[in-house]
Amino acid sequence: MMEKTFAMIKPDGVDRSLVGAIIVMLEQTGLKLVAMKMLKADKGLVAIHYPSTDQWLSGVGQHTVDGCAELGMDVVKEFGTADPIEIGKMVKVWLIDYITSGSVVAMVWEGPLAVSNVRRMCGNTVPSKAEPGSIRGKYGLDSAVSANAEKRPIFNLIHASGNVEEAVTEIKLWFPEII
């Protein structure tokens, strides 16, 4: 089934001059790059990109709570709360600050099962858990311990839409001219 998906090389990927290498890895899957632009995103755009729903905030917050437990960190000591929604709100602010800290490369990819294929190539969002042949497994350097200690998101090089509905929403947001 032909699909379109959104991917974005984050500021750490751009700063480390990995744009070409990441694009090559995605092209080698057989997907077609149909739109691309480099920009410095403003906070308003990124605030819309990352949802503010309780479901999304809770999911992001719970991921952080679970990560702290896995690392033997006291989540209340680190964040002042164990409430996943409240932690999700903190993480969203960090994400907005991170994505707007430098240039990003926004892209639309097209091909069979584009959403799942791009996510597979990106690898686990925590680089140390990412498969060795994935983008994050090959080029990722950051850890959850460092990110939590420094009160910031994990620098993991790339964002990829999580499902077809999210892809449609993100493509409309970042590339309104092609929808």
Count of the separate structural domains present in the chain: 2
At residue 102, the 3 state secondary structure works out as: coil
Looking up tokens 């990124």, which residue turns up?
A: 46
Q: Is residue 46 part of a domain?
A: no
For the chain, how far is it from start to end, CA to CA, in angstroms?
19
**Residue 144's CATH number:** 3.30.70.141
Q: Is residue 45 part of a domain?
A: no
What are the angstrom distances between the C-alpha of 5 and each of 45, 114, 163? 18, 6, 8
Domain ends where: 85, 101, 117? Answer: 101
Domain range enclosing 22: 1-40+103-178
Residue with more model confidence, 179 or 26? 26
**Co-location of 25 and 83 in the same domain:** no
Kindly name the residue from 159, 160, 161, 175 that is annotated as catalytic: 159
Domain ends where: 101, 119, 140? Answer: 101
**Co-location of 129 and 147 in the same domain:** yes
Specify whether 63 is catalytic: no
Measure the CA–CA gap between 89 and 95, rounded to whole angstroms.
10
Return the DSSP state at 167. Answer: H
**Co-location of 107 and 94 in the same domain:** no
Interval 101-147: pLDDT, tens = 999 999 999 999 999 999 999 999 999 999 999 999 999 999 888 88
**Co-location of 9 and 27 in the same domain:** yes
**Co-location of 117 and 151 in the same domain:** yes
**Co-location of 108 and 134 in the same domain:** yes
Identify the pLDDT of residue 179. 62
Interval 21-31: pLDDT, tens = 999 999 999 99
Alpha carbons within 13 A on the beta-carbon side of 68? 22
